[in-house]
């Protein structure tokens, strides 16, 4: 029988993340923005990209792989495009700036694209695509990843990170359609969660050096050989491999960040400046610039309704559309709190103590 996990209000979890980030030396406003993006992921059930990142961030901070005092700045600003330098810090602040710039430019011109270089992990891609959709525009976002994990189809070594890609489309009477996915068969965070919960991973997520499937999450994290989306050539892994390359081109090559396949044999190594130089991209499209007024909303809502009303394969499991599980998770978690495993609460306590930050998640 599963033991219920402790739950905490989103505001309290956000405050805990901000407290640690501030104790590490991040300016207060930047810490608040970073914590807000992290907890938005937790609320949507993307536990691998929220407060669950704090132990990894502690390790990266201790190794000097991101700059706590980073000051993101716009280095190129044109009517419908912009490039932001993340100054070697975490990616949440420059990505918030970049997505907001895309919204502003889209409002004026109907279409915009921004990109970030010299950055780091930016959290869940869907958070930024949704931010754009909530402003009334179609949003896209993707990111490179500093450490290679995806093994190309026919390959024997990792070349790309799990390179997330997100797409969100607004609707007038419904919450936005939100697709948020890794271009690997599964995200690294999913394997970490399986390890945290003591569960095996499904066959097809990861392989060993011979190409044989792994189900032990600890071994999968040690070898870090992830299959592209599809799992095998017969099931379409060449498509996932191609999508990972596409995200790398838009996220890293386009703004001048360091492309992961170009990092040398030690593919987790930082660049010459001691930073990972990760890149991200953001696109905003005004659907009102294409058809009759209101037509996009009406047609998208009709399409989504048709999908949800289509005949399910099994009773008790209706057909869903992208974003439905996350929206349900957010509704439930805003009401009942964000669940955090006891094992991770102990780890968070240690993170806070070592940072000299208050620990706020004591159970009542």
Which CATH entry fits the domain spanning 1-63+327-364: 1.10.1530.10, 3.30.1490.20, 3.10.580.10, 1.10.230.10?
1.10.1530.10
* Nearest in space to 283 (alpha carbons), one of 177, 128, 172: 128
Beta-strand relationship, 81-85 and 111-119:
parallel
Number of H helices, E strands in the chain: 11, 11
Fold for domain 70-185+226-309?
Ribosomal Protein S8; Chain: A, domain 1 (3.30.1370)
Q: What are the boundaries of each domain within the chain?
A: 1-63+327-364, 70-185+226-309
Residue-by-residue pLDDT tens, the chain, 364 positions:
466 889 999 999 999 999 999 999 999 999 999 999 999 999 999 998 999 999 999 999 998 889 999 999 999 999 999 999 999 999 999 999 999 999 999 999 999 999 999 999 999 999 999 999 999 999 999 999 998 999 999 888 899 999 999 999 999 999 999 999 999 998 777 888 788 778 999 988 998 888 888 899 999 888 889 999 998 888 899 999 999 999 999 999 999 999 999 875 444 555 555 678 999 999 999 999 999 989 999 999 999 999 999 999 988 899 999 999 999 999 999 999 999 999 999 999 999 999 999 999 986 5
This prediction's pTM: 0.93
CA atoms within 13 A on the CB side of 278: 31
Structure-derived torsion over alpha carbons of residues 186, 192, 123, 358, reported in degrees to the nearest 10: 170
């Amino acid at each position: 029988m599963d033991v219920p996990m402790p739950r905490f209000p989103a505001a309290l979890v956000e405050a805990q993340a901000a407290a640690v980030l501030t104790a590490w030396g991040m300016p207060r406003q930047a810490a608040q923005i970073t914590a807000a993006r992290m907890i938005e992921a937790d609320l949507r059930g993307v536990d691998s990209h929220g407060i669950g990142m704090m132990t990894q961030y502690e390790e990266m901070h201790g190794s000097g792989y991101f700059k706590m005092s980073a000051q993101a700045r716009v280095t190129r600003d044109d009517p419908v495009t912009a490039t932001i330098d993340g100054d070697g810090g975490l990616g949440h602040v420059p990505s918030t700036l970049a997505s907001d710039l895309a919204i502003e430019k889209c409002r004026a011109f109907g279409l915009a694209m921004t990109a970030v270089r010299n950055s780091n992990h930016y959290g869940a891609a869907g958070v930024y695509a949704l931010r754009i959709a909530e402003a009334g525009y179609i949003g896209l976002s993707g990111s490179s990843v500093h450490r290679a994990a995806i093994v190309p189809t026919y390959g024997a070594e990792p070349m790309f990170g799990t390179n997330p890609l997100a797409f969100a489309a607004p609707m007038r009477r419904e919450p936005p359609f939100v697709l948020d996915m890794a271009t690997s068969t599964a995200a690294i965070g999913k394997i970490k969660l399986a390890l945290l919960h003591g569960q095996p991973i499904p066959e097809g997520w990861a392989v060993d050096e011979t190409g044989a499937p792994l189900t032990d999450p600890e071994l999968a994290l040690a070898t870090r050989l992830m299959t592209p989306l599809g799992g095998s050539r017969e099931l379409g892994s060449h498509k996932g491999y191609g999508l990972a390359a596409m995200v790398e081109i838009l996220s890293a090559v386009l703004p001048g960040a360091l492309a992961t396949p170009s990092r040398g044999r030690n593919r987790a190594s930082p660049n010459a400046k001691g930073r990972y130089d990760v890149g991200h991209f953001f696109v905003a499209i005004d659907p009102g610039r294409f058809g009759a007024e209101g037509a996009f909303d009406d047609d998208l809502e009709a399409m989504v309704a048709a999908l949800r009303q289509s005949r399910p394969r099994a009773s008790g499991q209706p057909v869903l559309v992208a974003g439905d599980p996350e929206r349900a998770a957010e509704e439930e978690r805003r009401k009942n709190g964000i669940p955090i495993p006891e094992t991770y609460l102990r780890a968070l306590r240690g993170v806070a103590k070592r940072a000299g930050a208050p620990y706020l998640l004591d159970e009542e």
